[in-house]
Amino acid sequence: MSKRSFIYYTEMDSPIGALTIASTDIGVCLIEFGPVKETCSSITTWTKKHYMNTELKENREKLAPVVEQLNEYFAGTRTTFDVELDLVGTKFQCLVWQQVNQIPYGQTKSYKQIAMEIGAPKAVRAIGGSNNKNPVPIIVPCHRVIGNNGSMVGYGGGLDKKEHLLRMEGAIEKIS
């Protein structure tokens, strides 16, 4: 477990609803779907699990560059993110997130493709489980991972948000 003194957070509006963004001094560590008043409990629980001796502190200014990049993404003027991340997960989860982060804007890959790329061809379900634990959806674009048959399956924010993001990126035509 990492030690941090503060986890900074802010809220932003987006076309898929409010997002709550949290960051350590190292980088973005969490994005939750929903406004602070709805996500505060889960953020507090998550923070206590992963970071000892921390305090949540609202700080819109510190997170302004992240909010700006997310707004650019939703406006269609940004296809990659240039923000520091502070991801907490198992070695396997971090490997999966690193691979998922390589999927280009407007493209998709199947869980099976990700499993093959990381050298774990039988770990398709574990890939899905790791995606489900992705702490920074959108920035680490787990919405770009689809079923082997091209179908949309699973997304922490709901399939409606996944579909919206893929449609916005122009990848929806590739999905049956």
Average pLDDT, the chain: 91
When computed from its CA atoms, the radius of gyration of the chain, rounded to whole angstroms, is: 16
Alpha carbon distance 93, 109 (integer Å): 17
Listed residue (57, 66, 33) closest to 134, CA to CA: 33
Q: What is the mean pLDDT of residues 58-73?
A: 97
pLDDT at 27: 96
Q: In the chain, list all ranges with CATH 3.30.160.
A: 6-75
CATH number for the domain formed by residue range(s) 6-75 = 3.30.160
In sequence order, what E strands does 46-170 have? Answer: 51-52, 55-58, 109-110, 145-146
pLDDT confidence bin for 176, thresholds 50/70/90: very low
Alpha carbon distance 69, 19 (integer Å): 13
pLDDT at 175: 47
Does the domain made of 91-169 have the CATH classification 1.10.10.10?
Answer: yes
Higher local confidence (pLDDT), 107 or 153: 107
Q: Which is catalytic among the residues 29, 40, 94, 142?
A: 142
State yes or no: is 94 an active-site residue.
no
Helix axes 91-100, 124-132, angle to 10 degrees: 90
Exposure of 135 by Cβ count < 10 A (0-12 exposed, 13-18 middle, 19+ buried)?
Answer: buried
Measure CA of the first residue to CA of the last residue in the chain; give whole Å: 41
Higher local confidence (pLDDT), 130 or 153: 130
Higher local confidence (pLDDT), 152 or 104: 104
> Is the CB of residue 69 less than 8 Å from the CB of residue 15?
no
Q: In the chain, list all ranges with CATH 1.10.10.10.
A: 91-169
